Amino acid sequence: MPMVGDLFNVRYGHSLELNRLTASDPETGIAFVSRKMSDNGVSAFVAPLDGLQPAPAGELSVALGGNGVLSTFLQERPFYTGRDVAILAPKEPLSKAAILFYCMCIKANRYRYSYGRQANRTLKRIALPPPGKLPDWVESTKVDRFVGADQPANKNPAALSKPTAWPKYRLGELFDIKKGKRLTRAQMTPGATPFIGAVDNNNGLTAFIGQRPIHKGNTITVNYNGNGVAEAFYQPRAFWCSDDVNVLYPKFKLTPGRALFIATLIRLERYRFNYGRKWHLERMRSAALRLPTTPSSEPDWAYMERYIESLPFSITIEQGAA
């Protein structure tokens, strides 16, 4: 089985100190790659240094120590590195999918290291699968499927106009609010129905179950109990939700953009509730949100939708609902 040093030319990075560099903007600056575990390792963007060439796009950065040891990333633009970062250049041409797979393989060895054992001497000896024997799914994966996903759906900006002056609308006026239903882990069967729990991440999704949905899609779920109280999520598909979750059925035409706008405002209410004061059904019906309004004193749904569509990544919002 080949090792890192067989497939890549390995060299130390630039070992620069970020506090000695001049900050720049992402459009014109050079990416500064540190030992971060996230953001592709990029800590900042800096001005070019006279006489120091950045590493070229297409090479890999590998953290040799620290909390992010062996965090490995493909850098798709020229970059400088901080201390204890190695740079890998493929010895033979590799597809982008293969390079990303090797990034994953290198990072999978991080359990071997700690603050007392860095990877600067052993990186070259980490074993990797031969290029001709990668899993079939590697090359069939569409690695660029999210290119352009950070773009807005509508490039005309829509600024918020004095939210504190917006009138209040009770949730009970806007929605019929229904409860979820208890379902224990032992009762769940495998299947394709989304199960929404009282969590604060992953759109509330905690499992896929075999039971039939009990709530329709194109609704909003709101946790009234648990650690994620007042977390609100738009549900495009029919689903089952726990008894710690309430479901908002709209009395108006709900779209994903409108739902995301409202869900954001609902989350801002969470400071009012805790384990001793739950957001139960009656409190939720009487709770009020400030919403932009039309001259006829109706919620300005078109404005809400336009605002959401002007935000980065809004191009990825699915317009259909089931």
The pLDDT assigned to 63 comes to 96
The pLDDT assigned to 320 comes to 45
Domains of the chain: 4-140 (3.90.220.20), 163-316 (3.90.220.20)
How far is the C-alpha of 39 from the C-alpha of 123, rounded, in Å? Answer: 22
The pLDDT assigned to 139 comes to 92
Are the CB atoms for 204 and 267 separated by under 8 Å? no
For CA atoms 288, 293, 296, 298, the dihedral sign is: negative
Cα maximum dimension of the chain: 72
Q: Give per-residue pLDDT as tens, 134-169.
A: 999 999 988 888 888 889 888 887 888 788 899 999
What stretches in the chain show pLDDT beneath 70? 319-322
Q: Which residues, including other chains, have CB under 8 Å from residue 313's CB and lie 6 or more apart?
A: 149, 150, 151, 152
The pLDDT assigned to 53 comes to 96
**CA-CA distances (angstroms) from residue 157 to 152, 305, 310, 317?**
9, 12, 5, 17
How far is the C-alpha of 110 from the C-alpha of 113, rounded, in Å? Answer: 6
For CA atoms 134, 38, 314, 26, the dihedral sign is: negative
The pLDDT assigned to 42 comes to 97
Looking at this protein, which amino acid is placed at residue 71?
Answer: S
Are the CB atoms for 87 and 56 separated by under 8 Å? no
Residue whose C-alpha is closest to residue 250's, from 239, 263, 240:
263
Q: Give per-residue pLDDT as tens, 66-83.
A: 889 999 999 999 999 999
Are the CB atoms for 246 and 175 separated by under 8 Å? no
Are the CB atoms for 278 and 224 separated by under 8 Å? yes
